[in-house]
């Protein structure tokens, strides 16, 4: 039997655009996780947990929320995750750690609807900035930078490619677990301005046989770093790339 779910998100505001992604999210993130964790660790030194909670915007499955809870015992986390299926993953991680429950809040709203704390001790904006257009990004930077103390910082990333271009289909084997394999096939096209349209199929395979195929399409912004620097500047913040990586620090 083959089950197929085709989930197209032309408006970009469907309630659970991460429904197809959530099932394999942590397995898929595993290969990029060491680099992401290194970037999160460089943020730890400039966190100010005494000023306010640490925002995890688009917290996803909670990998970074959990990393900060684990490494900074005095930190409180304010995680925002509007996707029900991704939120289930972060809550699942928290279910295993009742000792963290007094130090973390998981809000179900999107960024502009969530009641942000007055002050922030730092922020994590990973894998999510591309969901915002230029005006929204400037507003995100302003909302966050305005809540940080002087010298406070937010970690963000810019997903490749740096500028929109055609990305031919490529397959990523995510994991072999028991008798089955999990993989993803991704491709994308420029669709104007800084936007690209991504199509990603998530496959569960038994040998050559496809047992599950979930396909999702979504639009994602790939802004030029100079545009980002300008948007941050308008929020009285500056940005600095972490080495040659895709990770950046925004500092107030």
Across 28-40, b (16+ Cβ under 10 Å) vs e yields: beeeeeeebeebb
Q: Cβ closer to ligand SAM: 27 or 210?
A: 27
Q: How far is the CB of 119 from ligand SAM (least distance, A)?
A: 20
Residue 168 burial (CB < 10 Å; 0-12/13-18/19+)? exposed
If binding means CB under 6 A, how many residues of this protein chain bind ligand SAM? 19
**Alpha-carbon distance values, 11 to 5, 22, 60, 81 (Å):** 18, 20, 21, 19
Q: Are strands 167-177 and 180-192 parallel, antiparallel or unpaired?
A: antiparallel
Tokens of 45: 């030194």
Q: Which residues between 27 and 46 bind ligand SAM (CB under 6 A)? A: 29
Checking DSSP bridges between strand 153-157 and strand 167-177, what pairing results, if any?
unpaired
**122 is a site residue for ligand SAM (CB under 6 A):** no
Residues 76 to 95 in contact with ligand SAM, rule: CB under 6 A:
80-83, 86
Least distance in angstroms from the C-beta of 247 to ligand SAM: 11
Query: Which residue from 7, 9, 42, 110 is in contact with ligand SAM, where contact means CB under 6 A?
Result: 110
Cβ 150 to ligand SAM, closest distance in Å? 26
- Residue 82's region, left for phi above 0, alpha for psi from -120 to 50, else beta, is alpha
Q: Which of residues 127-156 bind ligand SAM (CB under 6 A)?
A: 127-128, 131
Question: Per-residue x/- mask for ligand SAM, residues 209 to 248, rule CB under 6 A?
Answer: ----------------------------------------
Burial of 137: CB neighbours in 10 Å, binned 0-12, 13-18, 19+: buried
Tell me how far apart the alpha carbons of residues 121 and 53 are, in angstroms, rounded to a whole number: 5
Instruction: Give the nearest distance from C-beta 206 to ligand SAM in angstroms.
Output: 28
Q: Which of 19, 49, 53, 58 binds ligand SAM (CB under 6 A)?
A: 58
Q: Does 104 bind ligand SAM (CB under 6 A)?
A: no
Q: Rule CB under 6 A: which residues touch ligand SAM?
A: 18, 29, 57-60, 63-64, 80-83, 86, 110-111, 126-128, 131
């Amino acid at each position: 039997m083959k089950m197929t779910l085709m989930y197209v998100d032309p408006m970009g505001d469907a309630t659970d655009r991460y429904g197809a992604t959530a099932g394999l999210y942590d397995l898929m993130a595993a290969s990029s996780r060491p680099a992401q964790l290194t970037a999160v660790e460089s943020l730890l030194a400039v966190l100010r947990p005494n000023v306010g909670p640490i925002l995890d915007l688009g917290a996803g499955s909670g990998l970074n929320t959990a990393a900060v809870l684990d490494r900074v015992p005095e930190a409180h986390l304010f995680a925002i995750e509007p996707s029900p299926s991704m939120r289930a993953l972060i809550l699942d991680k928290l279910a295993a750690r009742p000792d963290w429950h007094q130090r973390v809040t998981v809000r179900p709203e999107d960024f502009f609807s969530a009641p942000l704390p007055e002050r922030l001790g730092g922020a994590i904006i990973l894998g999510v900035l591309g969901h915002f257009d230029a005006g929204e990004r400037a507003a995100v930077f302003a909302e966050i930078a305005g809540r940080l103390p002087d010298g406070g910082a937010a970690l963000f990333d810019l997903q490749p490619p740096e500028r929109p271009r055609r990305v031919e289909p490529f397959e990523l084997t995510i994991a072999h677990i028991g008798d089955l394999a999990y993989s993803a096939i991704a491709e994308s096209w420029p669709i104007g301005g800084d936007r690209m349209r991504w199509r990603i199929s998530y496959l569960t395979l038994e040998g050559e046989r496809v047992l599950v195929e979930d396909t999702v399409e979504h639009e994602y912004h790939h802004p030029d770093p100079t545009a980002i620097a300008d948007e941050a500047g308008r929020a009285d913040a500056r940005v600095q790339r972490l080495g040659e990586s895709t990770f950046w620090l925004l500092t107030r």
